[in-house]
Amino acid sequence: MPSFIDRRLNPKDKSLSNRQRFLRRARGELKRVVHEKIKSGKIVDVDAGHSVPFPLDGTSEPSFQADRSSGRREHVLPGNKEFTAGDRLAKPGQGGGTGAGKGAASEGDMEDDFQFVLSREEVLDLFFEDLELPDMIKSSLKEAVTFRSRRAGFTIAGAPTNINVGRTMRNSFGRRIALQRPKLAQVEAIAKEIEELEAKHPKPGSASSERLAKMRSELERLERRRKVVGYIDPVDIRFNRFEPQPLPNASAVMFCLMDVSGSMGEREKDLAKRFFVLLHLFLKRRYERIDIVFIRHTHQAHEVDEETFFRSTQSGGTVVSTALEEMQRIILERYPSQDWNIYAAQASDGDNLAGDSEHCVNLLNKEIMKLCQYYAYVEILDERESAIFRSTDNGTSLWRSYRQVGENWRNFQMTRIAKPGDIYPVFRQLFAKQPSSAKNG
Partner 1 sequence: MSKSAGASDLLFTGSDWTFDTLSRTYDAIKEVALDDLGLDCYPNQLEIISSEQMLDAYSSNGMPLIYQHWSFGKHFVYEEYLYRKGRRGLAYEIVINSNPCIAYLMEENTMALQALVIAHASFGHNHFFKNNYLFRQWTDASAILDYMEFAKGYVSRCEERYGFAAVESILDAAHTLMDQAVFRYRRPPRISSAKEQARVRERLEYEEKIFSDLWRTLPQPRQSEDTTEAEMEAQERKKALNLPEENLLYFLEKNSLILEPWEREILRIVRVVAQYFYPQRQTKVMNEGCATFVHYTIMNMLFDRGKISEGHLLEMLHSHSNVVFQPGFDDPRFSGLNPYAIGFAMMQDIERICTKPTAEDRDWFPEFAGNGDWRGTLLDAWANHRDESFLLQYLSPALIRKMRLFALDDESKEKHYQVASIHNERGYEKIRSSLARSYDIGMNQPNIQVVDVDLLGNRHLRLQHTARDGIVLSESTRDATLRHVRRLWGYDVSLVGVDAEFGNVLYETSTDKFAG
Q: Which residues, including other chains, have CB under 8 Å from residue 107's CB and lie 6 or more apart?
A: none
Q: Does 394 bind partner 1 (CB under 8 A)?
A: no
Would you list the DSSP string of 20-60? HHHHHHTHHHHHHHHHHHHHHS-GGGGSS-EEEEPP-TT--
Using the rule CB under 8 A, which residue among 28, 36, 108, 114 binds partner 1? 114
Q: Does 109 bind partner 1 (CB under 8 A)?
A: no
Q: Which is nearer to partner 1, 9 or 157 (CB)?
A: 9
Q: For residues 408 and 378, is the Cβ–Cβ distance under 8 A?
A: no
Q: Which is nearer to partner 1, 99 or 230 (CB)?
A: 99
Q: Does 437 bind partner 1 (CB under 8 A)?
A: no
Q: For residues 142 and 135, is the Cβ–Cβ distance under 8 A?
A: no
Q: Does 230 bind partner 1 (CB under 8 A)?
A: no
Q: How many CB atoms lie within 10 A of CB 171?
A: 18
Handedness of CA 402, 407, 413, 418 (dihedral sign): positive
Using the rule CB under 8 A, which residue among 28, 103, 134, 336 binds partner 1? 103
Q: Does 20 bind partner 1 (CB under 8 A)?
A: yes
Nearest-approach distance from CB 64 to partner 1, in angstroms: 5
Nearest-approach distance from CB 18 to partner 1, in angstroms: 4
Nearest-approach distance from CB 51 to partner 1, in angstroms: 10
Q: Does 95 bind partner 1 (CB under 8 A)?
A: yes
Q: Which is nearer to partner 1, 53 or 230 (CB)?
A: 53
Q: β-pairing, 147-155 with 374-380?
A: unpaired
Scanning 91-99, 291-299, 305-313, 316-324 for contacts with partner 1 by CB under 8 A, the matching segment is 91-99
Q: Does 119 bind partner 1 (CB under 8 A)?
A: no
Residue 89: phi, psi to the nearest 5?
A: -120, 140
Q: Does 160 bind partner 1 (CB under 8 A)?
A: no
Q: Does 112 bind partner 1 (CB under 8 A)?
A: no
Q: Among candidates 265, 244, 282, which has minimal Cα distance to 383? A: 265
Cross-sheet strand order for the sheet of 251-259: 301-304, 289-297, 251-259, 340-348, 374-380, 412-417
Rounding to the nearest 10 degrees, give the CA dihedral for residues 278, 400, 266, 256.
40
Per-residue interface string for the shown chain with partner 1, residues 35-74, x marking contact by CB under 8 A: -------------------x----xxxxxxxxxxxxxxxx
Q: Under the rule (CB under 8 A), what is the footprint of partner 1?
A: 1-8, 10, 12, 14-15, 17-25, 54, 59-81, 83-91, 95, 97, 99-100, 103, 114-116
